Every structure is written in C-alpha cells, then in structure tokens.
Structure 1
Amino acid sequence: MPLLRSLLAALTLAVLLLPHAAQAVSVMDPFNVPLAMDGGTAKVGDGIAYADGARAKLDVYAPEQRGEPAPVVFFIYGGGWSRGERGEYEFVGRALASRGFVTVIADYRLYPEVRYPDFLEDGARALRWVQDNIANYGGDPNRLFLAGHSAGAYNAVMQALDPSFRAEYGVTMPILAVAALSGPYDFYPFEYGEVRDVFGEAPNPQGTQPINLITAEAPAMYLATGTTDPIVRVQNTERFAERLRAQGVWVTTQYYDGFGHMEPVLAMGALWRWRMPVLDDMVGFFQRFGAFPSGVPYLAVAPEAPEMLPEAIAPIDQIVSELNAMFQPIEE
C-alpha cells in the first residue's frame, strides 16, 4: 500500500516536528503532500504580485483540463490575523480546482505589521487583480465566490458586507455568494489580547463587526462550524445567521457535530475529507447560486479518499490538536 505508507511517513515527520513549528517546516505540510491532494489540477499562477510589498502575492489553481471559463473562488485563510501563508493551503486550492473552480489564494499583511483595516484593504487589492486578470487563467470574473476560514472567514464576509473596501480599489465584480468556515462575526467587546491587538485601535469598534453591517443587499452566505469549536463558539455563527435571515438574506448553516476549529478547513483536502462533507456542501451551495449555469459542474477528477487505517488517525488528530492550540479564543 504505497499511498498509505507515504501518507504515514509524512504524518510521522510532521508529528516529530510539532515542537518546532516556527521553523521552515509547517505543521500543515501533511495536508499538502502531493499524494494527499487532489489530482487533475494545476498551479497555474505562483507568487504573482497583486500590489507592492512582500506579502502582496497570490497563487492560482485550476483544473488541468480547461475549456469554457470557469467560476472563481477567492479563498482567504485564517490565522488570527497574525499568521498564515498561502502555500499552507495548497490543498484547499487543489480541492476546489478538482471541482471545476479557478481558485485564488492571496497572502495579506499581518499583525504586528498592520492592524484593522489594512488586511481588508489587501483583500480588496487582490480582488482587483482577479477582476483584471483572472480571465487569462481560465476564470470568469462574473462568477465570483468568496470563501474563508476563521479570520479569513471574517475577511471574506467583510468584503461582502462593506463595499467601501472594494469601491476604493475599483472592484465592480459581483460577489454571487460567500462560504465562511469557523468564522467570528460578532466578537465585540474585544475580550482577548490577540483581538485587542488587531482591532483595539479602530475608531468605531462596532463597525468592525460583520453582524452590524448586514443589509438586504448582502449576498447569500453558507456558514459552517464545528459544534465544539473552542476558538469561535458555535453561538457566534448562530447569532450571525439569525441576523442575516432577519434581513431577508439567504443563509445556509451547517453544524459539524463534535468537531472543533481547524477541522472544517482541513476536511476540504483529500487527506481528511472522509471526516465531513464540507467540500461537497460548499460546492453544492455555490452551484445553487450560479457556479455552473449548465447545472452540471465539470469535475477535473473525482478522487478517492486516501486509504486510512485506525493507527493512521492518531497522528492526524495530534496535528489538529496542535493547530487548535496555536489560537487564542476570539469571543466567549
């Protein structure tokens, strides 16, 4: 079973390196091992500059076989607005590409270099690049979807709810829908140090909260969370969804029973997809709002989940625990 042996070797290496996660080897590496990612996909843009600055770079993933222009997902990773690299989420880019999407993953500036709202401005600048250039990579800028996890989910819904960021950079593409995983949308007052550091100097702190910015013009939203998330409590998603519905906005909620903060985004990749159907749920939601007008999404590949034995589960769970331990709670 060469696939299983390769995956176990990668997992073992990652576990051994967990105490040294600050080094070049990332704790996310097992999810980005080539054998653990979706085939039939290509990285068609690598480290493209969307603006000036070391962090203003993005990657683009697409199905290997491309014909008609494909829908676009702009995915924003999390990390408490203070950590994260686009390369750590290659497995997400390839997962969405395997389902027929052109996927863009952009870095953005982090604390302590910047505070709110600079990282949102970076997102808008990256979206302007998408508007101007994504057709050259096989994407249709008129079928744009936003997605994000954790702090990235916050960034994604803020781009959708506060048009001033996009207007500043001339972004006129419509956002058809947003998929947000494990996101904080209602965390004022700022109780924890990490959040106070990033948002504490905002002149209008209530204006930093997505729950206060909802209007009837907001795009449809898919909100997913683990029910035992210790970083962003499930009630955060529940309150946000309730307010969206009160404004007449289409919202679909998905609560993954017994899972925590990192699990929903990790389960997008082929290595952990057997744990929950988050990728299929997200793609089905995007399909409802016009991803594939023909009604039949093009699948570059329909990968089988990697073969896993019971003893292979423990290293993954240890990695997930380590990832969860890296974050402070965002709200009570």
Structure 2
Amino acid sequence: MKTLRHWIGGLLLLATTACSGPGLLNSVDGITGGGSGVHRAAEGLSFGSHGQKLDVWVPDGTPPANGRPVLIFWYGGGWAEGKRQQYGFAARAFADEGFTVVLPDYRKVPDVRYPAFLEDGAQAVAWTRDHAADFGGDPNRIGVAGHSAGAYIAVMLALDPRWTEAAGVPDGTIKAGVGLSGPYDFYPFDQKRSIDAFAGTPDPESTQPINQVSAGDPPLLLVTSTDDTVVRPYNAYNLAKAMRAAGVPVELKDYPGLTHEEVAMALSTTFRGKGPVLSDSAAFLKARMP
C-alpha cells in the first residue's frame, strides 16, 4: 500500500506541475517502468550551427559487434512547440526495441520559419553519422522518424536531398523512415501553423513532401489514424500513392479510432495498448536496416 500511495502521490504531483501533455506523459511513462533496460547515454550534446541540443538513448549492455541500427526521432508541435526532454518516452520505446536513438531539438516558429527546422534536422543527421558509433550505433544503418511536424521533418529529409547535402551528408545515408501522423500535402497554406511556418516561401510547392518523391528514395512507413482531425489522413494516403507511382517502397498504416495525439501516446508504456504503433514501426525499420 505504501508503494501504491507513493505512486499515486507522484502522479498527482506531476499532474499539478507538468507544463504540457507530452511532458506529463513522459514523466508517467518513466514512473510506470517505460524503457526499463535502456538508459540515456548522453544529454544536451551540442550539434549544428545554431546552438541545437540532442539526447542519445541506448539499450543497456554491450552492443553487437556490427553495432545497433540507429534512429533519429523528431517530435511534433506544429513547428512552434515541443522540447526533446518531453519526448523521452518515444526515445526509450525505440531504444527498448534495440536502436541507438538520437532525439534532437530544432529551431521553431516564431523565431524562424521554413526551412530552418529542416536545416537543423539535416545537421542532426550529419552529427548522427559522425557520432553514432560512439554510442554503439552503426552509421551505415540510419533511419529517421517523427510525429506530426516531426514526421514532416523526417519525411522531407528522406525525400529531398537538398538539406542533407547542404549539411555534408552523403546521398543514401538515410536508409528508411517512419512518418507518424505527418503533414505531407498541405498547400495552399490555410491553417495558422502552416501559414506561420511557411508563409513567404518563394516556391511554396517545393515545401511539400508529396512534390519531392522520386525513384531511388528510401522506403517509408506512413502511419495515420481514422480519428485524426489535426493532420487529416489524406496526407499519408496521397503521399503513399505518389510513392507507389514512382516505384518507391512504401507501407501505409491507418489505425482505427486513434486521434492525432494517441498515435504518439501509443509509443509509451502506459498507452501502448491503443495500437501497435511501436511494434509496426520498429519491425519496418529493422527489416530495412538489417
């Protein structure tokens, strides 16, 4: 009973002090055993040219001789919100699946607009390629993933080589990607967040992942859900159609009954029963980064 009272008391404290939904979820996930068997191997490491920071999460124990597959995960927040510290639950989940996980921050609106967050994302890929081996990862097996605006970053970096090339990353470094509830086909801009993030771009159609598909792109898993009213499922459906037309390997998952937020929540231990988001994503990445 004493342990239960302390656990409940901890949840009540978190509920009154946590500043955001993701932050509360991350804290509860840690309390309830999320990521047991993994640890944060590095916190607040600097990368890039604008004072960005990142964390690295890894499984406990000695990595295999050929290293672990590596995953870079970008969180969402409409290109305007979010902190890497709030999304440890996602990094812990993938580390528990055997990945070396890099969890970077990026610059946000209103301080910047497109393409600053893509430039930061590309610099995170460059850092990961240079340093993955320091954390038991294989720099020849790098995948990308993200949720919502973070999925936009991950998918754009996979499909449009302009950004990674500018960061000095060789073509073909990104082997596969997972987009969770991401916006890929949202021009013309008619929502405040997209207007704030992309307005004034000289060539707005070039900002759309759906317009960057070409033969030779890495395979993607696109996840959406029937009850997503934030980023409508047609984004994933339209991009998957374009990829198939170009001969690019793509898988599409549409989880019934899940909202936009619940797709990310399902990565956590607490809400993993909502849907197989983690297992589907991990299986896809491992199959393409053996």
Structure-1 residue corresponding to 2:40: 43
Q: Name which structure has the greater RCO, CA cutoff 8 Å, separation 6+.
A: 1
> Pairwise mapping of residues 1-332 of structure 1 onto structure 2 (< 5 A)?
8-16=8-16, 21=20, 26-54=23-51, 56-68=52-64, 69-172=67-170, 174-290=173-289, 293=290
Deviation readout 1:82-106 (Å, 9 max, x if unpaired) = 0110011111111111111000000
Letter of the aligned partner of 1:214 in structure 2?
A: V
8 Å contact from structure 2 (residues 69, 286) kept in 1: no
8 Å contact from structure 1 (residues 31, 266) kept in 2: no
Which stretches of structure 1, 4 residues or longer, exceed 3 Å deviation after superposition? 1-18, 25-32
TM normalised by structure 1 equals 0.81
Tell me the distance in 2 between the aligned counterparts of 1:13 and 1:281: 34
CA RMSD between the two structures: 2.0
Number of aligned residues: 287
Contiguous gaps of at least 5 residues in structure 1: 294-332
Tell me the distance in 2 between the aligned counterparts of 1:238 and 1:58: 31
Other structure's SS at 1:265 match:
helix
Tell me how far 1:158 sits from its aligned partner.
0.5
8 Å contact from structure 1 (residues 185, 211) kept in 2: yes
Tell me the distance in 2 between the aligned counterparts of 1:61 and 1:263: 23
8 Å contact from structure 1 (residues 72, 140) kept in 2: yes
Tell me how far 1:112 sits from its aligned partner.
0.7
8 Å contact from structure 1 (residues 7, 30) kept in 2: no
Other structure's SS at 1:33 match:
helix
TM normalised by structure 2 equals 0.93
Deviation readout 1:186-227 (Å, 9 max, x if unpaired) = 000000112111101110000000001100111111011121
Other structure's SS at 1:153 match:
helix
**Higher alpha-carbon deviation: 58-67 or 5-14:** 5-14
Letter of the aligned partner of 1:171 in structure 2?
A: V
Q: Structure 1's 243 and 6: CA in aligned 2 closer, same or farther, altered over 3 A?
A: farther
Letter of the aligned partner of 2:167 in structure 1?
A: Y
Contiguous gaps of at least 5 residues in structure 2: none
